[in-house]
């Protein structure tokens, strides 16, 4: 076997020299779209989104998830049910950035209990909703306490720190019996 002699010949890349039609304008300072057309598209898109015409994960925004209930197996006894949703997300209404947190629901059922799968879908409905922590916590408490009418219910929302500030909101409901 003979060793190679001399430097190895390198092949250069040769681009295809056929002239393709360039869709971009000749002057790079020329905008592709006018400012007014961009604003009109954005306005129309947001209008469709907020009116519920654009679907998110198979559901329209206006469609409410129905929380299902089942009969309390021991209505004569006082006992506490703790439900934790550690991967809760919603959107900041000011910045549109996601807020991550944990929602803890504690309640003493009366005649009915909350079914967990439907509760999961209800909680996922907040992923694309811009809402403040305080309103969110009270909305969840209002929805759940109105639906299952517990003897007592407490909703605690703990959100991850943002800008060095950790927020925890607690709302409570007591039956008038």
Find, among 88, 90, 87, 102, the residue nearest to 130 by Cα.
90
Q: Is 99 one of the catalytic residues?
A: yes
Which position among 36, 41, 55, 92 bears the catalytic label? 92
Q: Is 71 one of the catalytic residues?
A: no
Pairing of strands 59-60, 165-174: unpaired
Who contacts 70 (Cβ-Cβ below 8 Å, separation ≥6)? 112, 113, 115
Find, among 107, 42, 23, the residue nearest to 69 by Cα.
107
**Residues linked to residue 169 through DSSP beta bridges, in sequence order:** 157
Which position among 36, 41, 55, 99 bears the catalytic label? 99
Helix (H) or strand (E) holding 48: helix 35-50
Task: Give the number of C-alpha atoms closer than 13 A to the C-alpha of residue 176, restricted to the C-beta side.
Answer: 1
Q: What is the DSSP letter of 130?
A: B
Catalytic residues: 92, 99
């Amino acid at each position: 076997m003979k060793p190679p002699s001399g430097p190895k010949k390198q092949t250069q890349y040769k681009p295809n020299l056929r002239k393709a039609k360039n869709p971009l304008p000749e002057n790079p300072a020329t905008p592709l779209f006018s400012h007014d057309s961009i604003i009109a598209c954005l306005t129309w898109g947001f209008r469709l989104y907020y009116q519920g015409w654009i679907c998110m994960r198979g559901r329209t925004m206006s469609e409410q998830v129905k929380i299902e209930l089942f009969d309390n197996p021991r209505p004569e006894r006082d006992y506490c049910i703790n439900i934790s949703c550690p991967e809760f997300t919603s959107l900041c209404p000011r910045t549109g950035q996601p807020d991550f947190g944990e929602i803890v629901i504690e309640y003493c059922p009366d005649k009915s209990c909350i079914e967990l799968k439907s509760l999961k879908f209800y909680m996922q409905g907040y992923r694309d909703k811009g809402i403040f922590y305080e309103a969110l916590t009270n909305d969840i408490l209002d929805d759940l306490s109105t639906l299952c009418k517990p003897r007592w219910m407490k909703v605690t929302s703990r959100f991850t720190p943002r800008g060095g500030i950790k927020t925890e909101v607690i709302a409570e409901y007591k039956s008038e019996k």
